[in-house]
Amino acid sequence: MYAKVDVLVPKPRADFVETPFIRELTGRALNYIRIGFPVHLSGPTGVGKTTLAFHLAGQLARPVVLIHGDYEFGTSNLVGGLYGYSRKYLRDNYIRSVLKVEENATQQWMDDRLTVACEHGFT
C-alpha cells in the first residue's frame, strides 16, 4: 500500500539557460547516471540544484519524486511506516438523529516517497 506520492515527469525546456559550465556539468552528470553511478548535487540554497536535477531528469525522460524536509523530518517520512486508524461518519439524510460511526484500527505498512521512488526506478 502506498501513501499519496506525487510523481513529476519533467520535459526538456527551451527556456532553460545552458551556459558552457552548465552544459559541461550536465554532460558529466549524465555520463555518471548512464553508467549506473548516483549523482549527489550539493550547495547552498538557491544555486539551482533542484532545477539542474529536473533538467537532468528531463534529458533522461525519467520521472521524479520531489522530497522536502525540515528539522522534524524522520525516517518514516522517507521510507514509510505503520499507519491504519480511520474513522468514518455516516449521517442519515432522512432521520437526522441517526449517526453511524465506523472505526478501523488495523495497522498496515504504507510506503512513502523514497521507497516508491526506489521500487519504480524513479530519478
**Single-letter code of the amino acid located at 99:** L
For the full predicted model, state whether its pTM sits above 0.75. Answer: no
Q: So what's the pLDDT on residue 44?
A: 94
Phi first, then psi, for residue 5 (nearest 5°) are -120, 120
pLDDT confidence of residue 78: 86
Q: What is the pLDDT of residues 21-42, one digit of tens each?
A: 999 999 999 999 999 998 999 9
Give residue 3's pLDDT: 58
Using 50, 70 and 90 to split pLDDT, how confident is the model at 123?
A: low
Q: Which of 89, 81, 78 is nearest to 5 (CA)?
A: 78
